[in-house]
Amino acid sequence: MKVLDCLAPLFIACLGILGCTQAVTLEVKEGNSTCIKAELSRLLFSALHPLLSCGAAGRPPWLVAVFGSGHALGLSFAKNGSFYSITNLTVQYNLSDTSLFPQSNGSGVVTVVSSSVGIWAPINTTYRCASPTTIRAGGAAITFSAMRLEAYMPGNDLSPTESVCAADQTTTTTAPPTPTTTAAPAPTPPATPATGVFSVTNSSGTVCLLAKMGLQLNVSYVSQSQNKTVQELVNVNPNLTVTSGSCGGTTASLVLTQQTTTLNFTFSMNSTTSKYHLSGINLLANWSDMTAPFSASNTSLDYLRSTLGRSYMCNTEQTLLVVPAFSLNAFRLQVQPFGVTSSQFAAAEECQLDQDQMLIPIIVGAALAGLVLIILIAYLIGRKRSHAGYQTI
């Protein structure tokens, strides 16, 4: 199998849709170099047709696996600073396939997309998660188990340095009570956070920063009551939030304080290119079940990039990775930290995620159409040959 570009994602996983009984190794080479190696469930991926791209013209790298009768799994990747992540997961399944959906009341192909995957790791490390990981996309739930993957790889093999998911991590202590060995269930996602409008004014009382968004904190910390690491999703309530911050020529900040939680955004602008971006996020939290106050900070981020005189907008849910123990889910986001006039957002630059929402479904649809065409051509050729075997009397 030949690919034009050599991708960095390396995807090794067992999908819990049908269970993982056997694995088939998929290796894609360009010359003597391996660019993709995957071990996938033989039962699920009995007839696998991979579509791959390393990302060109500013688009993110992606991997789409088409299998069975009209089913497909698509993953798109991105990196930010020292982290890489899965930014989009697309699943397409065919309800007319009676082998998988014997009691289905529906028919046709269904496509669902999730932009809140929550799978990330530092660059040059392998993400590992033996525990079942369930990702919700639309009305579907996709469960991965025994997962190992790495993106933006420097070599042909998985890095021996592993980044272990929170569900696999155990916390030990010499103090009673004895830590439980039962794996904690995945946190139940709360309702989608309410959208809040936040603004910062300068010394003259003029609005200099505008933000509209729904925010959800994803924090892993040591629980005092459970005596182990837990993962918790907490929505930011705009009605209980106090807004502050500052504006400058090349830096601006937005600070959101809600009781025992403080969330700080730092924006930076390049005066040469007139481009700005979210460069830092800092979280301070002291929740009742924490054994100690939680603090996380990253000042080398590169999110929400836009141009001076325009706002940045992203309606798609996106996950902003800060550190392994903390990420921020943003919903229906629009922000303008510089060049605000008349207390209103300027014309918006749309995020790549909004543009990519339809990219993978289109690719999957095109691939399936191609497969149908190949099958049809093979059928016609076979039929022509069978007719050639008879002579007219």
- Please give the structure tokens belonging to residue 90: 């697309």
Would the pLDDT of 298 be above 70? yes
Across all residues in the chain, what is the average pLDDT?
76
Q: How confident is the model at residue 285 (pLDDT cuts 50, 70, 90)?
A: very high
pLDDT of residue 117: 77
pLDDT of residue 72: 78
- Please give the structure tokens belonging to residue 244: 């502050």
- pTM of the complete model: 0.60
- Fill in the amino acid letter for 277: H
- Say what percent of the chain tops pLDDT 70: 69
pLDDT of residue 13: 43
pLDDT of residue 61: 67
pLDDT of residue 141: 76
* Contact by Cβ (8 Å): 211, 236: no
All CATH 2.40.160.110 domain ranges of the chain, comma separated, are: 23-167, 196-350
Give CA–CA dist 223/339, Å, rounded: 43
Average pLDDT over residues 208-237: 92
The distance between the two most distant Cα atoms of the chain, rounded to a whole number of Å, is 100
**SS3 call for 105:** coil
140/293: higher pLDDT: 293
Residue pointed to by tokens 């525990």: 131
Residues 6+ apart with CB under 8 A from 379: none
Average pLDDT over residues 360-376: 69
pLDDT of residue 219: 93
301/143: higher pLDDT: 301
Residue 334 host element (H or E): strand 326-336
Q: Please tell us whether the domain made up of 23-167 is placed in CATH 3.40.50.150.
A: no
> What is the end-to-end Cα distance of the chain in Å, rounded?
46
Q: How confident is the model at residue 362 (pLDDT cuts 50, 70, 90)?
A: low
70/125: higher pLDDT: 125
Q: Please tell us whether the domain made up of 196-350 is placed in CATH 2.40.160.110.
A: yes
Average pLDDT over residues 82-107: 78
Average pLDDT over residues 219-243: 91
21/167: higher pLDDT: 167
pLDDT of residue 4: 29
pLDDT of residue 263: 95
pLDDT of residue 389: 58
172/92: higher pLDDT: 92
Q: β-pairing, 126-129 with 162-164?
A: parallel
pLDDT of residue 162: 84
Query: CA–CA distance from 228 to each of 23, 170, 173 (Å)?
Result: 33, 6, 9
Q: How confident is the model at residue 52 (pLDDT cuts 50, 70, 90)?
A: low
